[in-house]
Each structure stands twice: as C-alpha cells, then as structure tokens.
C-alpha cells in the first residue's frame, strides 16, 4: 500500500491514479523530414523548386474543409490575433457552459503560428537539388470537439506541409465516460473525482486505456480534420509529446487535509534537494547532467503548489477542491524516462538493457508504470515528512546503543558532522533505486577506510536503518532509515540552522 495512504488510512476516502493531460503529435513519414519530402516530390515528377506550387492547393483544401465543418456545426471560425492574455481553454469552457457537453464540434480557432517548412536548395559541387528544413509560419486551425469516448479533445492542424498534427485529450475526462458506461456512480470537480462508488473497478478501468483503440480514434480525427492525409499512403505516425500522470489521495474532510497539506508543502520546499528530485524521477544525478534541477513554490487561486523539476520532467504536489492531495508526474520528452527493454543493435542482434522509452503511443503501458513509480516514490517521501512523532521516535531509536552477541555498537548522532554527512550520503537519490555498496560510501566519503566502511554498514544494519539485498552486497535504506533521514533534514535544515543564524544576528 502507498505509505502515505497507509499513514492516513482513517482520513482517506479513496485513491486513484490516472493519465491527465495527454498531447500527441502526428507525423507523415513520407514528408516528415526534408529528405523524405524531396524523395516524395521526385517520385511524383515534381521539381523541388516547385514545392510551393505543390503545397498551396493542399493549404486551400484544408481551409475549405475547416470552413465546411464550422458551417455544418453552425459555428464561425474565431481568429486569434494576439495570444497575450487570451486563453482558448477558458473560451471553450464558456461555450460548453452554454451549449452543454453533448458530443460534436464545440468551436474552431485559427491563428498564425510557427510551423515546420522546407526551402529548395541547389548544391553546386554535386549539381543536385533538394529541400532543407527551415522554420516558417502558417495558419493553424484548432478544432475543439467532444468525443463520445474521450470527452473534450482538440486537433491542431497546420495548413502547410509537412502537416504535423497535435492532438490533446484528458485522461480523467476519458475515465468519466468509462465510469458512466459501466454504471459506476461518481462525483467530479474539474478534472478530479471527489468520490467513486467502486474505486477498485475505477482503477481497473483507468489502467485499461488501450493504445490500439486510441490509434483508431487518432486516425479518424486526422481524416476528418486533415483530409489531405489521403494523398499519403503511410498515414500518420503518432508519438507522445507531453504526458501528465496523476495520483489523487482523497480526504474525507478539509479540516483534516488542509493543515496536513500546509505542513508538508512548507517542509518539502526546504528539505527536498536535487538528489531527491532525481530519485523521484528514476534518475541518477551525475556531473554530466547539464539541465536545470530545482523546486518552485507558487500560490494560485486554487491553492498552493510545489513543483520539482529536472530537465524535461517534473513532479508536482498540489491540492484539488480542498480535499485532494494530487501528485502529478509530467514529461515533455518521454525518452527522458528509461526502462529495461529489448534493443536492436546495429549488427542486428537484440539485447535486453536499460534504454530510453520509445515515443510511440504504444509505450503508454510502460509509461504508466514508470510515472506511477515516480508518484509512489514521492508519496513515500511525504509519508516521512508528515509524521513528526514517528520521526522523533526513529531518531531516538537510532541514537541509542545496540548490543550484539560480541559487542555493543553505539548509535548515531546527527548533530555530529561525520554522522550527518553519512546520512546525507545515504540519502542520495540514485541509491533509492539501485542500492549502494561499501565502495560507494567510500567514493563519497573520501576519509572513510575499508574497515571503517564495513563497521559503519554493520552499525546501520544492527540499528535497522539499512537492509541487505540477496547475495550481491547491495544495501537499501529501510522504512526506519528513510524516516530518520527525512526527520534529520527537517530538524537540522528547517529549524536548527535558521534559528542559529537568526540568534547570531
């Protein structure tokens, strides 16, 4: 069970994990890259310098299709002149409030936005002409519609080749329709469920998002909103662009949840460091990592949110409807996440090894597993932060000496610098996933000899702070060890050091 839920089982009414925001891109393999576009034109007997003349009729076809669909739905296409403070989502919600949430086309926006494009290029040394990629700007259409199965979605259609589509849907909206079809009662606020009559069945439904079914819908939407698709035999290749995965812990009463949430947020923003952020996201922080790692705390109308980010991924904690603790993992590049899978080598052989996640929509199942694990690691850390009494007891236990058959092993005093540095080292994020050895301790604590390292490991094991796995001489922090580490960070960095500084001033 989730350690945080286990800790607050009496106050929690339900738990649900579900995809939230999902953005998918569609690429036509035949024209997705400059070389492919050049080859396509050549196969049709079109010169690369006639690329513009070839693309213009397709642009006109997309414009006419957008106007026809809008007219059939009794809508007018709304052109967005300045993006500034204009929010399409707010406008759509106002329209839905008036029209209702029945299936059909809701609204169509148009806007001039950047897009991929190509330009002809003649290479004098080789006397060959080809296309090269270049940034451009073209008219885009946003088709917002309510699908009977997926709920509110949009398809963004650029009117210029290579016609890279962008599709959005919300996993909670999709799940709401699955619950309705299964005759499972629920109460919903925004994109969160306040209550579900059968939470076990709901979780089973949430895990049943089928990539093959999604693929069928994506192809149908592409054919409807981008009819030039019929000119390309290969169809669209669908890739995951941005994905959010949320785990909601629903409390019974605001009076129980709000003080707890406020305490967790105040503490987390001070004690969670870069190593912990990397650990949450399943990574090891090394000197080779060049991107940003950090924490952001923001207060919004909906409440307070803390966000921990590492490169293209982040994990957030915020409250929904005053009753829900939501931990949400977000990735803007799913290849940031790694898992063990079969990888085909250049020589044709397949090797099972740790490799980046594929971007294909058929990686949804593996992506769910990786993002769920990230959320679970964050909740486990929260469980250590929000229970100061248990933490104080853990500190007392680890500070007391323990007698074994042949000797007495002293405890640990985290106000002594050597012990404090030891526990900070034990808390390195990557070791929560891969474990550590005595050699790892010596690498991060240079003044530690081999015999001293063995002695420390024995003390840690006798005090119940670490455990050994199998016969590989790898160690992990126990639940007690994690509580001790979290409480030490809270007490020393959040209370003691600031107090000493203020008194010194």
Q: Is the pLDDT reported for residue 505 higher than 70?
A: no
Sign for the CA dihedral angle at 187, 191, 192, 196 comes to positive
| Confidence at 286, pLDDT banded by 50, 70, 90 | low
Largest Cα span, the chain: 89
What backbone torsions phi and psi does residue 137 show, to the nearest 5 degrees? -145, 135
Q: Give the whole-number percent of the chain exceeding pLDDT 90.
A: 52
Q: What is the pLDDT of residue 151?
A: 95
For residues 456 and 462, what is the distance between their CA atoms, to the nearest angstrom? 10
C-alpha distances in angstroms, 285 versus 25, 293, 340?
Answer: 30, 9, 19
Q: Is the pLDDT reported for residue 501 higher than 50?
A: no
What 3-state DSSP class applies to 308?
strand
pLDDT average, residue stretch 144-172 = 97
For 90, other C-beta atoms within 10 Å of its C-beta total 10
Which is higher by pLDDT, 330 or 305?
330
Q: What is the pLDDT of residue 393?
A: 67
For residues 334 and 281, what is the distance between their CA atoms, to the nearest angstrom? 12
C-alpha distances in angstroms, 447 versus 443, 451, 453, 476?
Answer: 9, 12, 10, 22
Q: Is the pLDDT reported for residue 211 higher than 90?
A: yes
CB 270 within 8 A of CB 296: no
For residues 481 and 394, what is the distance between their CA atoms, to the nearest angstrom? 8
The structure tokens 């306040």 sit at 194
> Which of 32-41, 376-385, 420-429 bottoms out in mean pLDDT, i.e. has the lowest?
420-429
Average pLDDT, the chain: 87
Q: pLDDT tens for residues 306-327?
A: 999 998 999 999 898 889 999 9
Q: Which of 21, 377, 33, 23 is nearest to 172 (CA)?
A: 21
Distance of CA 253 to the CA centre of its chain: 28
> Which of 11-25, 210-224, 344-358 bottoms out in mean pLDDT, i.e. has the lowest?
344-358
Q: Is the pLDDT reported for residue 198 higher than 90?
A: yes
Q: pLDDT tens for residues 436-457?
A: 888 888 888 888 888 888 888 8
H helices of 190-287, in order, are 199-206, 211-225, 254-271, 274-280
Highest mean pLDDT among 102-116, 294-308, 416-430: 102-116
> Which of 153-162, 192-201, 361-370, 384-393 bottoms out in mean pLDDT, i.e. has the lowest?
384-393
List the structure tokens of 107: 């609204």
Distance of CA 14 to the CA centre of its chain: 22
- Cite the beta strand spans of 99-220 per DSSP E: 104-123, 128-147, 151-158, 165-170, 186-189, 192-196
Q: pLDDT tens for residues 54-86?
A: 999 999 999 999 999 999 999 999 999 877 778
| Confidence at 3, pLDDT banded by 50, 70, 90 | confident
List the structure tokens of 48: 């690369």
For residues 74 and 69, what is the distance between their CA atoms, to the nearest angstrom? 9
pLDDT average, residue stretch 211-218 = 97
Domain 387-504, CATH: 1.10.10.10
Q: What is the pLDDT of residue 500?
A: 47
For residues 143 and 92, what is the distance between their CA atoms, to the nearest angstrom? 11
pLDDT average, residue stretch 134-147 = 96
Q: What is the pLDDT of residue 28?
A: 93
| Confidence at 499, pLDDT banded by 50, 70, 90 | very low
Q: What is the pLDDT of residue 495?
A: 47
What backbone torsions phi and psi does residue 30 show, to the nearest 5 degrees? -70, -25
Q: Which of 371, 2, 378, 9 is nearest to 207 (CA)?
A: 371
- Cite the beta strand spans of 217-346 per DSSP E: 237-251, 293-299, 304-310, 313-320, 324-331, 338-344
The full DSSP string for 363-399 is GHHHHHHHHHHHHHHHHHHHHHHT-HHHHHHHHHHHH
Stretch (H or E) spanning 431: helix 431-434
Q: Which of 315, 289, 250 is nearest to 11 (CA)?
A: 250
For residues 193 and 248, what is the distance between their CA atoms, to the nearest angstrom? 8
Query: What residue spans define the domains of the chain?
Result: 1-23+185-207+238-386, 29-163, 387-504
List the structure tokens of 328: 């949400």
pLDDT average, residue stretch 174-197 = 94
Q: Is the pLDDT reported for residue 268 higher than 90?
A: no
> Which of 23-27, 120-124, 328-332 bottoms out in mean pLDDT, i.e. has the lowest?
120-124
Q: CA-based Rg of the chain, rounded to a whole angstrom?
A: 28
The structure tokens 């409030």 sit at 97
């Amino acid at each position: 069970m989730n350690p945080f839920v286990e800790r607050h089982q009496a106050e929690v009414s339900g738990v649900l994990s579900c995809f939230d925001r999902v953005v998918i891109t569609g690429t036509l393999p035949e024209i997705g890259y400059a070389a492919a576009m050049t080859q396509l034109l050549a196969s049709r007997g079109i010169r690369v310098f006639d690329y513009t003349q070839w693309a213009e009729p397709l642009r006109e076809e997309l414009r006419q299709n957008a106007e026809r669909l809008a007219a059939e739905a009794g809508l007018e296409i709304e052109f967005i002149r300045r993006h500034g403070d204009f929010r399409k989502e707010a406008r759509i919600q106002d329209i839905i409030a008036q029209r209702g949430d029945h299936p059909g086309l809701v609204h169509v926006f148009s806007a001039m936005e950047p897009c991929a494009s190509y330009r002809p290029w003649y290479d004098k040394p080789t006397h060959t002409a080809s296309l090269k990629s270049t940034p451009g700007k073209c008219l885009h259409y946003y088709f917002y519609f309510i699908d009977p199965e997926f709920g509110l979605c949009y398809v963004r259609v650029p009117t210029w080749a290579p016609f890279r589509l962008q599709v959005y849907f919300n996993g909670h909206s999709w799940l709401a329709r699955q619950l309705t079809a299964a005759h499972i009662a629920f109460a919903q606020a925004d994109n969160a469920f306040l209550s579900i009559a059968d939470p076990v069945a709901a979780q089973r439904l949430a895990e049943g998002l089928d990539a093959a079914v999604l693929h069928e819908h994506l192809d149908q939407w592409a054919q409807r909103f981008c009819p030039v698709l019929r000119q390309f035999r290969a169809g669209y290749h669908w890739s995951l662009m941005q994905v959010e995965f949320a785990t909601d812990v629903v409390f019974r009463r605001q009076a129980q949840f709000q003080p707890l949430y406020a305490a967790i947020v105040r503490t987390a923003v001070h004690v969670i460091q870069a190593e912990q952020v990397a650990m949450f996201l399943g990574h090891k922080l090394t000197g080779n990592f060049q991107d940003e790692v950090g924490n952001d705390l923001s207060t919004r109308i909906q409440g307070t949110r803390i966000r921990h980010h590492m490169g293209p991924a982040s994990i957030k904690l915020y409250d929904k409807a005053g009753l829900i603790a939501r931990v949400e993992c977000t990735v803007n590049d799913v290849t940031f996440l790694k898992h063990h899978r079969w990888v085909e080598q250049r020589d044709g052989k397949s090797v099972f090894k740790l490799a980046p996640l594929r971007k294909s929509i058929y990686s949804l199942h593996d992506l769910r597993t990786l993002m769920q694990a990230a959320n679970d690691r964050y909740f486990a850390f929260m469980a250590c932060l929000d229970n100061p009494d248990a933490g104080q007891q853990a500190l007392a236990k680890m500070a007391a000496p323990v007698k074994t058959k042949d000797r007495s092993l002293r405890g640990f005093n985290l106000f002594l610098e050597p012990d404090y540095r030891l526990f900070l080292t034990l808390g390195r994020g990557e070791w929560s996933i891969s474990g550590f050895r005595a050699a790892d301790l010596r690498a991060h604590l240079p003044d530690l000899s081999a015999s001293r390292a063995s002695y420390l490991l024995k003390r840690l094991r006798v005090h119940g702070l670490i455990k050994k796995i199998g016969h590989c001489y790898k160690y992990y922090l126990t639940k007690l060890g994690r509580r001790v580490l979290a409480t030490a960070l809270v007490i020393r960095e959040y209370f003691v050091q600031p107090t000493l500084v203020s008194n010194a001033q």
